């Protein structure tokens, strides 16, 4: 995967799906224009030839089309080279039974037209072709590989020679390296073969008389098989299907670049492997676009939709968003050089450029006309808010001025959630209203609560309901505890998303759940394993005064101690106030159960002294109680070691039992087996030992199955 995307610059449809080949596109100065501007020629199996000269990003493809011609027969391959000897580029078109050389010329209307230079009718069905100065010929020659393994060489309007490839079954990619005068191809055995052109010519000269006699004796139909087989220069076992063969020149030395089905190979001209790189996707096509010093730069198209740029065998860039490519090449536009032309299997011709911006999700906002007066007023208001906040004189929460959230009193309204099966004990009503002259639409409310607190709704969407001045929306919510785990806090956050004045807004509102949802009054205990002591700067306050409004059943005489029993649990937490000093102790045998009573005590102290107009300071002067955490870590480590020891013992017992079974099977094959009474006892003992290991109790089972790791 890659974050970066290839940016589409220009695109058009050139053919029907599955009617294009890997050699269907060429990019070059087809019409020999003075400005040497590139044109793109694309041909299909339907016999249609298109030539485009893209003028700019988003331009009309029909306006950029310079030529469209139906040649009437399937087109297998296109090549551009000077094969006429007049120092002008020619367009070479390969058909199944003929090869045609055209001169592309400009007409008076700004389009292009084809003028045939010469044509060769082929005696064999063609597969592909390559053009080069074979044997250092002054004029470029055309070499056509046929379906039966024959290489036919044409020089202008003459057929020069025919040679058969040895061990041939199916045609493969074909390339010519001029510096070494080598023809390189791949056969059906997944071998890369190289042949010297001069050796072909030498074989032809030595056997010319024999070929002439053979041609006189065979019929016209059999004469197509006249020719001498040639010997290979080198052979390399690729081990996979060959998709393409190309070559580059690095510091006066040629190198072969072979693209396999899932790998890419670099070979020297002796057939030796220099390096190899494997890809996770299937490879389709490649193009060499520049060579710097000893580094080879390549473009690689794969069927995973990612275009890769390689330097030697290192991927230096990858961009997604590319359809399955069949052929690719570089294209230099007058306005933007360095584009990448890709023909896809769906029949699309697209020009891409490699952008540097990662493709991340973009937040789209509804378009609206610009109101400069409103923008100036909003800017003035924001600047005043910023100045007030910097001076510490911000009197209200401006982030919540558009939406007003409030909740009513909690009531005992026990119900069972039909989806989860949890019992919900308390309910409340949340009211949503807007400020004056504010209209909110597309409201949604998300309820965020920490485990084990559960709510009957995770999200409430109000749809198209509109809230404006004088309108209030009430939402009924029910809360409860999911299991016996003590909660760490009794707080719930509501997150409201809405649209105000065509702009998205998010507001949050936090409120506390009632204390009796998690705690019930009980008799306090004097002794406990875990104790926390907090200090205050005010005289002690009785428990009835602090918790009388939050919990029922705390009326009567003032008491300095109170107990809280956790809901769905036997954990008891005691809160004890000192007689003379402002010290309070919170203690319990369950360390996790101390959280809610400690928070409730702190909140009750602040609320009590705030009503009296006094300020209370709450401190914790003792060392942090980390011993329980360390004990839990040690206990967990010991359980892991015990489980590991049990697994090792079980594995040893099972291995011993399997070995005894194999020995017993070997005894059955023995033609004269000995007595197996003792062996049976050993097998029975090994079986009992393995069963005892399986039923041995794990130490963590005492804490419940959830603790077994």
587 exposure class (CB count in 10 Å sphere: 0-12, 13-18, 19+): buried
Phi, psi of 375, rounded to the nearest 5 degrees? -65, -40
Residue 706: its pLDDT value, please?
41
User: Residue-wise over 451-460: b if at least 16 C-beta within 10 A, else e?
Assistant: ebbbbbeeeb
Q: Highest-confidence range of 36-40, 381-385, 705-709, by mean pLDDT?
A: 36-40
Packed helices 627-669 and 677-695: angle between N→C axes, nearest 10 degrees: 160
Per DSSP, helices labelled H in 57-207 are 61-64, 197-206
Mean pLDDT of 7-28: 89
Residue 381: its pLDDT value, please?
87
- 443 with 531, same domain? no
Peptide bond into 192 cis (omega under 30): no
- What pLDDT, in 10s, does the model give residues 577-592? 888 888 999 999 888 8
Domain boundary among 598, 625, 652: 625
Nearest-5° Cα angle at 403, 497 to 427: 80
- 508 with 519, same domain? no
Q: What six digits make up the tokens of 109?
A: 């209307």
Domain limits for position 507: 400-512
Mean pLDDT of 613-638: 85
Tell the residue number behind the tokens 């041939």, with chain if given.
Answer: 168
Residue 177: its pLDDT value, please?
92
Per DSSP, helices labelled H in 474-594 are 543-547
- 497 with 602, same domain? no
Does residue 550 lie in a domain region?
Answer: yes
Nearest to 482 by CA among 514, 455, 511, 448: 455
Does residue 365 lie in a domain region?
Answer: no
Domain boundary among 625, 648, 683: 625
Tell the residue number behind the tokens 């740029």, with chain if given.
Answer: 309
Residue 678: its pLDDT value, please?
75
- What pLDDT, in 10s, does the model give residues 291-330? 666 677 889 999 888 899 988 888 888 888 888 899 999 9
- 535 with 668, same domain? no
- What pLDDT, in 10s, does the model give residues 488-507? 888 899 998 888 878 888 88
Sign of the Cα torsion 117, 122, 125, 130 reads negative
Q: What six digits make up the tokens of 376?
A: 């100036």
CATH number for the domain spanning 567: value is: 3.30.310
Does residue 395 lie in a domain region?
Answer: no
Per DSSP, helices labelled H in 531-576 are 543-547
- 555 with 648, same domain? no
Does residue 368 lie in a domain region?
Answer: no
Does residue 566 lie in a domain region?
Answer: yes
- 86 with 54, same domain? yes
How many structural domains compose the chain?
4
Phi, psi of 473, rounded to the nearest 5 degrees? -110, 125
CATH number for the domain spanning 404: value is: 2.60.40.1230
Cα–Cα distance for residue pair 323/307, rounded to 1 Å: 9
Cα–Cα distance for residue pair 441/573, rounded to 1 Å: 47
Cα–Cα distance for residue pair 509/492, rounded to 1 Å: 8
- What pLDDT, in 10s, does the model give residues 22-41? 889 999 999 988 888 899 99
Nearest to 300 by CA among 275, 274, 282, 321: 282
- What pLDDT, in 10s, does the model give residues 673-683? 777 767 788 88
Cα–Cα distance for residue pair 247/231, rounded to 1 Å: 22
- 579 with 648, same domain? no
- 648 with 617, same domain? no
421: left (phi over 0), alpha (psi -120 to 50) or beta: left
With a cut of 60, say whether residue 96 has pLDDT above it.
yes
Mean pLDDT of 593-610: 88
Does residue 548 lie in a domain region?
Answer: yes
Q: Band the pLDDT of 368: cuts 50, 70, 90.
A: low
pTM (2 decimals)? 0.50
Residue 366: its pLDDT value, please?
55
Q: What six digits make up the tokens of 54?
A: 């893209």
* Coil, helix or strand at residue 390: helix
User: Quick one: what percent of the chain has pLDDT higher than 90?
Assistant: 25
- 674 with 599, same domain? no
- 481 with 597, same domain? no
Q: How many helices (H) and strands (E) does the chain have?
A: 8, 44
CATH number for the domain spanning 277: value is: 2.130.10.10
Domain boundary among 580, 595, 625: 625
Does residue 531 lie in a domain region?
Answer: yes
Q: What six digits make up the tokens of 586?
A: 């919170």
- 286 with 297, same domain? yes
Residues 6+ apart with CB under 8 A from 349: 11, 12, 13, 14, 25, 40, 42, 50, 52, 341, 342, 343
Tallying the residues shown for the chain, one arrives at 709
Tell the residue number behind the tokens 């480590």, with chain if given.
Answer: 637
Q: Band the pLDDT of 211: cuts 50, 70, 90.
A: very low
- 478 with 525, same domain? no
With a cut of 80, say whether residue 392 has pLDDT above it.
no
Mean pLDDT of 633-640: 90
507 exposure class (CB count in 10 Å sphere: 0-12, 13-18, 19+): buried
Residue 549: its pLDDT value, please?
65
Cα 361 to chain center, whole Å? Answer: 14
Residue 312: its pLDDT value, please?
80
- What pLDDT, in 10s, does the model give residues 419-460? 777 888 888 988 888 877 788 888 889 999 888 888 888 888
Nearest to 427 by CA among 479, 468, 382, 387: 479
Does residue 379 lie in a domain region?
Answer: no
- What pLDDT, in 10s, does the model give residues 252-271? 788 899 999 999 999 999 99
Helix (H), strand (E) at residue 610: helix 595-611
């Amino acid at each position: 995967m890659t974050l970066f995307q290839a940016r589409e610059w220009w695109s058009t449809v050139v053919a029907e799906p599955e009617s294009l080949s890997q050699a269907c596109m060429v990019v070059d100065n087809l019409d020999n224009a003075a400005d040497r501007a590139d044109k793109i020629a694309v041909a299909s199996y339907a016999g249609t030839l298109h030539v485009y000269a893209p003028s700019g990003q988003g331009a009309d493809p029909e306006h950029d089309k310079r030529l469209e011609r139906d040649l009437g027969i399937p087109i297998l391959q296109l090549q551009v080279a000077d094969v006429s000897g007049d120092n002008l580029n020619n367009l070479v078109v390969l058909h199944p039974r003929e090869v045609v050389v055209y001169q592309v010329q400009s007409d008076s209307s700004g389009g292009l037209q084809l003028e045939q230079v010469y044509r060769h009718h082929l005696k064999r069905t063609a597969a592909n072709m390559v053009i080069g100065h074979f044997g250092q010929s002054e004029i470029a020659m055309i070499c056509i590989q046929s379906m039966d393994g024959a290489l036919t060489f044409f020089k202008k309007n003459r057929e020069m020679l025919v040679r058969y490839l040895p061990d041939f079954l199916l045609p493969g990619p074909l390339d010519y390296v001029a510096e070494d005068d080598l023809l390189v191809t791949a056969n059906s055995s997944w071998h890369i073969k190289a042949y010297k052109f001069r050796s072909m010519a030498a074989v032809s000269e030595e056997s010319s008389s024999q070929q002439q006699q053979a041609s006189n004796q065979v019929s016209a139909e059999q004469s197509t098989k006249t020719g001498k087989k040639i010997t290979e220069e080198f052979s390399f076992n690729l081990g996979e299907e060959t998709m393409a063969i190309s070559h580059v020149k690095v510091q006066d030395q040629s190198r072969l670049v072979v693209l396999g089905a899932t790998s890419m190979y670099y070979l020297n001209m002796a057939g030796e492997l220099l390096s190899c790189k494997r890809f996770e996707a299937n490879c389709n096509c490649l193009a060499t676009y520049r060579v710097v010093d000893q580094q080879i730069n390549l473009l690689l198209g794969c069927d995973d939709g990612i275009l890769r740029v390689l330097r030697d065998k290192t991927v230096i860039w990858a961009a997604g968003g590319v359809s399955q490519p069949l052929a690719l090449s570089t294209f230099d536009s007058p306005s933007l050089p360095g584009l990448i032309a890709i023909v896809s299997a769906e029949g699309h011709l697209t020009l891409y450029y490699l952008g540097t911006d990662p493709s991340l999700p973009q937040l789209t906002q509804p378009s609206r006309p610009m109101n400069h007066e409103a923008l100036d007023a909003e800017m003035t208001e924001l600047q005043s808010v910023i100045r007030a906040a910097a001076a510490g004189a911000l009197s209200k929460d401006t982030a919540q001025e558009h939406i007003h959230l409030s909740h009513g009193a909690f009531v005992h309204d026990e119900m069972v959630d039909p989806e989860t099966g949890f019992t919900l004990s308390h309910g409340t009503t949340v009211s949503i209203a807007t400020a004056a002259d504010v209209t909110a639409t597309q409201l949604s409310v998300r309820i965020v609560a920490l485990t084990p607190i559960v709510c009957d709704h995770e999200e409430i969407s109000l749809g198209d309901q509109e809230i404006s001045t004088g309108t209030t929306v009430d939402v009924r919510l029910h809360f409860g505890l999911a299991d016996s785990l003590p909660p760490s806090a009794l707080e719930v956050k509501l997150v409201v998303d809405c649209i105000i004045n065509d702009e998205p807004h998010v507001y949050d509102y936090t409120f506390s759940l009632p204390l009796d949802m998690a705690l019930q009054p009980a008799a306090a205990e004097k002794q406990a394993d875990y104790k926390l002591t907090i200090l205050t700067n005010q005289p002690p306050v009785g428990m009835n005064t602090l918790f009388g409004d939050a919990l029922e059943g705390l009326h009567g005489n003032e008491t300095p101690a109170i107990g809280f029993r956790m809901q769905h649990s036997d954990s008891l937490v005691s809160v004890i106030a000192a007689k003379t000093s402002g010290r309070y102790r919170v203690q319990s045998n369950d360390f996790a159960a101390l959280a809610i009573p400690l928070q409730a005590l702190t909140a009750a102290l602040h609320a009590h002294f705030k009503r009296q107009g006094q300020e209370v300071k709450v401190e914790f002067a003792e060392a942090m109680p980390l011993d329980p955490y360390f004990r839990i870590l040690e206990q967990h480590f010991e359980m892991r070691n015990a489980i590991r020891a049990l697994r090792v013992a079980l594995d040893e017992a099972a291995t011993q039992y399997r070995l005894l079974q194999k020995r017993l099977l070997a005894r059955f094959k023995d033609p004269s087996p000995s007595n197996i009474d003792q062996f049976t006892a050993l097998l029975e003992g090994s079986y009992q030992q393995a069963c005892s290991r399986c039923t041995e109790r794990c130490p963590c089972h005492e804490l419940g199955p959830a603790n077994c790791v």
